[in-house]
Amino acid sequence: MSHSSLGTALITGASAGIGATYADRLAKRGYDLLLVARDAARLKALADKLSAAHGIKAEVFQADLTNRDEVRKVEKRLREDEAITLLVNNAGIGSKTTMLEDDIDYLETMIEVNVVAVNRLGVAAAQTFAKRGKGSIINIASVVAFLAERFHGTYNATKAFVLNLTQSIHAEAGPKGVKVQAVLPGLTRTEIFERAGNSIDQLPPSMVMEVTDLVDAALAGFDQGEVVTIPSLPDPADYEALTTARHALGPNLSHNKPASRYGVA
């Protein structure tokens, strides 16, 4: 089977949910696939299905992204395989309960997947693609990056990390030909809730997006060149206002004296 002219999309967390849906949509576009997750059997079933349906090459790469040695194996493939033109940094795990009640060892595992692995693969892709002068990175964050006070502290912090990382990669690597996007889903119908011991059916249906709608909207935002895509947000001016306000803080975030309101200068 010949390689796709679009290249290969490396997708983490590809066995189900958002990752598997990205695999389907990118295969339809004509990308070859490198599917990364722990569950080799599910990956192979998906790879076989998409290969047969779309005439693309789909390869399985079994890896546990809680294990740093295995993350490095994925990184090595990402750096060395010139066919890879797109990274979808999707793998992640959610919270089981409130931060005050959660198992701190589990929270460290969450950080390994949501932060350490995402950072290593995202930066490796940025470095590799910038040298080539082309390539794309899609990082899956979450709207909770904006809502630190309302949800699980560690999970929120991991997704704020992903958003900030993406914006910084865009600032550095964008001028070198690397296309970068952060996708911020709201509540989405995937297995992440069941894996954390919860049920999405307990949530208001009006707040829960189907995963196919989420990915289709995210790819529409990618095609439009959005750096930050919030599929549920009706008016992009709201996010633009937030960005403007954030940038307006810049000139006053670092001075040689404390602000007079503290009365210590």
Spatial contact of 210 and 187, defined as CB atoms under 8 Å apart? no
Catalytic residue among 106, 155, 239, 262: 155
For the residues of 175-194, what is the DSSP string, one character each?
Answer: GGTEEEEEE---SB-STHHH
Between CA 22 and CA 15 the distance in angstroms is 10
As a whole number of angstroms, the longest Cα–Cα distance in the chain is: 72
155 is catalytic: yes
Running DSSP on this structure, what letter comes out for residue 116?
I
Nearby residues of 48 by Cβ (< 8 Å), 6 or more positions away: 58
Spatial contact of 12 and 36, defined as CB atoms under 8 Å apart? yes
Tell me which residues are annotated as active site: 155
